[in-house]
Structure 1
Amino acid sequence: MSSPPIKVAVLGFGMSAQVFHIPFIQSLSQHSHLTTILERSATADSSKARDAFPEVKVVTHLQHVLDDDELELVFVSTINDTHYEYTKAILNAGKHVVCEKALTPTSAEAYELAELASKKNLVLAVYQNRRWDSDFLTLKQVLAENRLGELSEFTSHFDRYKNEAATTKLWKEKVGRKYPSRVHLRECKPLSSLFWIRQDLPGSGAAYDLGSHLVDQILALFGKPQAVTGFVRNSRSIGNPDVPDSFLIHLHYPSTSEAGRRLPLIATARGSVLSLVSPQMRFTVKGTKGAFIEHGLDVQEDQLKKGAKSAVDQADFGVEPKELQGTLYEVEGGHKIETETGNYKAWFENVAEVSIIFPIFAPCHELTKDSDTPSTQAIRSKDRSKLIVTPEAAALTIEIIEKATQSSKEGRTIQL
């Protein structure tokens, strides 16, 4: 007997919700059913969410979501400063959570949420979708086939050219905000009414926005490093000098590390905001047997921006142009290699699978040897190892960025 689709709510109706989440939720209708959108600015007469999805209930307060017993899974696609409070409230309400990266502004908060989800037997998934970029999947295949031998150099780029201050998404370039109370968070007051208090808080800037993807990919490949060296700065001297727009983060893996390597490796995550290279560099990976060079950026984001839901189900979704194929250099010479197809949908399928395996029907202590209903069988068979991007991994990503920021400020390498 197959499980019915889980009922889903989405918090926020910005680009994250419209481009990166809702198209996949609706595409996977056998797994998930979007029933509620929280749009804080909606009124009885005006709602972008209601106009786009007239069949979906639109609410303006988080409490409406928390009190809805039919909702099982909530997507948090609001700004970073809200992630901790929202996610904690949702978990305490007994619902699974998908949270945009970065999970929280601090690793302490992220580890706390991971522990809370585990304690309550709930899924907490973090949207580190770029593990399913076409270029990263291709690199993983090259490494799995041992085409490069033992690695000596690994650099992952997220470069762009932007020699002016942001005019949109200003929250990404703010130093930080402190919200007056959880009551305001629960009621989703308009953010403009909460800007009056600002502190130098973590969670803003390029390292958290873009660097979190690169660090997550490195950790997925090599595990936890022994040390971190970071250069996190405002390289343009534009806007607030305390908000970094560029980053260079070295993750140190000595020859004695758990990766079991003979050669020491420094894996580097690099994001420049003043790069006019075209196409931009993506990966530079060198080893004892070969090297792999890739330019450009995965196409899925651009495809989603242009076509939203319709893009997800197109045959060419995630297919990289041949001109951006990576080059594999071996002793015999260099040659292009076919790129794997990008697949953000796989992340959603994984979360849906684990969330359905974790239904909220009855607490585990109520199970008996003879309780063989489909729901209790599902509870008994739950397996957290099926979640590919764990909250603990997301917390470690934030910890690495914190250490890189500390390293940059103190001018030294930080041991983990």
Structure 2
Amino acid sequence: MASKTWNVGVVGYGFSAKTFHLPFLREVPQLKLYAVVQRTPKPEDDAEKDHPGIKSYRTSEEMVKDEGVDVVIITTAPDSHYELAKLALENGKHVVCEKPFVPTSKEANGLVALAQKQNKLLAVYQNRRWDADFVTLSKLVKNGSLGRIAEFETHFDRHRPEEPAADVSKWKNKVIPGGSAIYDLGSHLLDQVVHLFGLPNRVTGFIGSQREVNTSGFEDSFTVLFHYNKGPLVTAKAAVVSPEEEQLRFWVRGDKGSFKKFHLDVQEEQLKSGIKPGDSVYGREPSERYGFLTTIQNGQPVREVTPTVEPPTWTEYYRKLARALAGEGDLPASGAEARDVIRLIELAQESSKQGKTIDV
């Protein structure tokens, strides 16, 4: 019997939708792009022209009334996520929400409860669980190559010390609910940590700006420590003052070995350059970017290059979503899991304001 095809409606037709969602939808036969909400199409930017045969709506309220829509993907700014997800769930749609999920854990709790009441799936787009470097590191942690993990560092550092120019079309440098580096980049880093180690026992946060000129008050940087009673000390960090030739991504130390990795996962870079998920080179990291595994041999540290695994790529997110819709597996990243990450962000903010460590 042929598997069911799920009609997908996408809210928003900007960079997120075009770069991080639509290319991967096309790779999964069970998911069909059915409709797009685009408020103001232009001759050179029109979803209906780019994707002949889809339905084009001007408002989300119109689209969720369409009985043909099974799943709604929300790709707008985070301060709109709660209302749009609530609208879609109330109208009987499954929901995929871009990260950061919502600005507050209270809102997240409300959406998780509503999804349960409506008997609908609520997922959040934590696609970086399928970064090739993170998949490689997870394998080393789980197979015991590093032994008992004592310290785990995860970085998203860049050298951008100048205040970015104001751009009303971009939320990532604006002071809005659910904005700032801790929500934007932190939601990825913290999700990866919790996915690997579970919830920490305590949180210490340092959140603010590293830029000398910061007229908007945008919090562009953070350092968050996760303390585990029976586990590692985790440092999750994003900086905008980091003049390095190669930016550190992971440094993980255990009693049997350590793993050090530079450079970000290649998928976003490739997508921006026009490489597609179905291309043979997509997601495959060049050898000069491989990480280093150091182990103790005959009492001495020995460093070896560790090839990055052949990645499942971010397409795996939507493969898992299709299976979950068919009742054949768990969500790739659930609303409840994303709710926990938002709560940890709130605790890091509280810790930073109070200048003390907070119990989870």
The TM-score, its normalising length taken from structure 1, stands at 0.82
SS in 2 for 1:71: coil
Displacement of 1:276 in angstroms is 1.6
Q: Residue 347 of structure 2 corresponds to which residue in structure 1? A: 403
Work out which of the residue numbers 105, 129, 137 in structure 2 matches 1:131: 129
Q: Residue 215 of structure 1 corresponds to which residue in structure 2? A: 190
The reply on whether 1:326 has 2:301 as its aligned counterpart is no
- Number of corresponding residues: 353
Distance 1:109 1:341 in 2: 37
- Work out whether residues 174 and 240 of structure 1, in 8 Å CA contact, stay in contact via their aligned partners in 2: no
Unaligned runs of 5+ in 1: 177-201, 256-260, 358-381
SS in 2 for 1:274: coil
Deviation track 1:353-390 (CA, whole Å, cap 9, x = no partner) reads 112x2xxxxxxxxxxxxxxxxxxxxxxxx36x611311
Deviation track 1:216-248 (CA, whole Å, cap 9, x = no partner) reads 000001101111000000110433453210000
The reply on whether 1:146 has 2:144 as its aligned counterpart is yes
Displacement of 1:166 in angstroms is 2.4
Work out which of the residue numbers 179, 186, 202 in structure 2 matches 1:204: 179
SS in 2 for 1:251: strand
- Work out whether residues 175 and 240 of structure 1, in 8 Å CA contact, stay in contact via their aligned partners in 2: no
SS in 2 for 1:335: strand
SS in 1 for 2:185: helix
From the superposition, tell whether residues 20 and 34 of structure 1 become closer, same or farther in structure 2 (CA, over 3 Å): same
Give percent identity, aligned residues only.
39
The reply on whether 1:284 has 2:251 as its aligned counterpart is yes
Q: Residue 38 of structure 1 corresponds to which residue in structure 2? A: 37
Q: Following superposition of structure 1 onto structure 2, how do residues 352-391 of structure 1 map, counting pairs within 5 Å?
A: 352-355=322-325, 357=326, 382=327, 386-391=330-335
Displacement of 1:331 in angstroms is 0.7
SS in 2 for 1:172: coil
Deviation track 1:8-32 (CA, whole Å, cap 9, x = no partner) reads 111111110000001111222x211
The reply on whether 1:248 has 2:223 as its aligned counterpart is yes
Q: Following superposition of structure 1 onto structure 2, how do residues 249-328 of structure 1 map, counting pairs within 5 Å?
A: 249-255=224-230, 261=231, 265-307=232-274, 311-328=276-293
Unaligned runs of 5+ in 2: none
- Work out whether residues 234 and 241 of structure 1, in 8 Å CA contact, stay in contact via their aligned partners in 2: no
Output the amino acid matched with 1:250: L
Displacement of 1:115 in angstroms is 1.6
Distance 2:213 2:66 in 1: 45
Deviation track 1:16-63 (CA, whole Å, cap 9, x = no partner) reads 0000001111222x21111111111127x7752233223222211111
SS in 2 for 1:173: coil
Distance 1:114 1:70 in 2: 24
From the superposition, tell whether residues 104 and 352 of structure 1 become closer, same or farther in structure 2 (CA, over 3 Å): same
Distance 2:126 2:23 in 1: 17
The TM-score, its normalising length taken from structure 2, stands at 0.94
Runs of 4+ in 1 over 6 A off after TM superposition: none
Work out which of the residue numbers 48, 51, 58 in structure 1 matches 2:49: 51
Give 1 or 2 for the bigger CA radius of gyration. 1
Instruction: Give the aligned CA root-mean-square deviation in angstroms.
Output: 1.6
Return the structure number with greater helix share. Answer: 1
Distance 2:228 2:305 in 1: 29
From the superposition, tell whether residues 411 and 316 of structure 1 become closer, same or farther in structure 2 (CA, over 3 Å): same
The reply on whether 1:341 has 2:310 as its aligned counterpart is yes
SS in 1 for 2:273: helix
Deviation track 1:318-366 (CA, whole Å, cap 9, x = no partner) reads 10110111100001301011111331011110011112x2xxxxxxxxx
Distance 2:278 2:284 in 1: 12
